[in-house]
Amino acid sequence: MEHVPSRRTFVKQASLLVAGVHFAPWLKFVAAADLGSAVADTSAGRVRGVVIDGVNVFKGIPYGASTSGKNRFRAPVKPTPWTGTRDALAYGATAPQTSDNSGTTAAGSPIQQSEDCLVLNVFTPGLKDSRKRPVMVWLHGGGFSSGSGSGRILDGTSLAHADTVVIVPLNHRLNVLG
């Protein structure tokens, strides 16, 4: 006689499958990551990133100070320098917007929004190896009303790994704040 799983067993197994599919990219990230070896100097201080599949990844590096308060509607100013080494492991905030039609949400959850959004991400195959590489800067679309330079569809790891280029997507001000 053939054993037919109960509805409860089926739901448990299906839930495990869905969880596995949802968390698989994170497992790849954790397995491929080497947290100790990606450190770079910027004009504002040192940043620590992660190495994924041989590509140095730095996320959320400020290229300008906050654009809120007295800096609203003004030209950007340099970021405040920091001491020590700043972690650059997570995407920075995107500009405030009513919707994100760019598909840049990370793992199904929206990226934080803030006027303090002048951040960039860097994906580079090498650090301090004296090689010159072309730099591809990505300014997202969205008609100056939505979008972000952060998120899963703008992850430059594969392109930086395959073509030995530096990928730099960034966030900028949008709407009336831009």
In this prediction, residue 70 has a pLDDT band, given cuts at 50, 70 and 90, of confident
In this prediction, residue 50 has a pLDDT band, given cuts at 50, 70 and 90, of very high
pLDDT greater at residue 178 or residue 129: 129
For residue 86, pLDDT beyond 90: yes
What letter does residue 114 receive in the DSSP assignment?
A: -
Within 8 A by CB and 6+ apart from 126, the residues are 56, 133, 164
**Mean of the pLDDT values across residues 2-27?**
50
For residue 173, pLDDT beyond 90: no
pLDDT greater at residue 111 or residue 51: 51
What letter does residue 149 receive in the DSSP assignment?
A: S
In this prediction, residue 16 has a pLDDT band, given cuts at 50, 70 and 90, of very low
Q: What is the 3-state secondary structure (H, E, C) of 50-104?
A: EEECCEEEEEEEECCCCCCHHHCCCCCCCCCCCCCEEECCCCCCECCCCCCCCCC
**What's the pLDDT score for residue 178?**
55
**Residues 69/98, Cβ–Cβ less than 8 Å:** no
**What's the pLDDT score for residue 34?**
55
What is the percentage of the chain residues whose pLDDT exceeds 70?
70
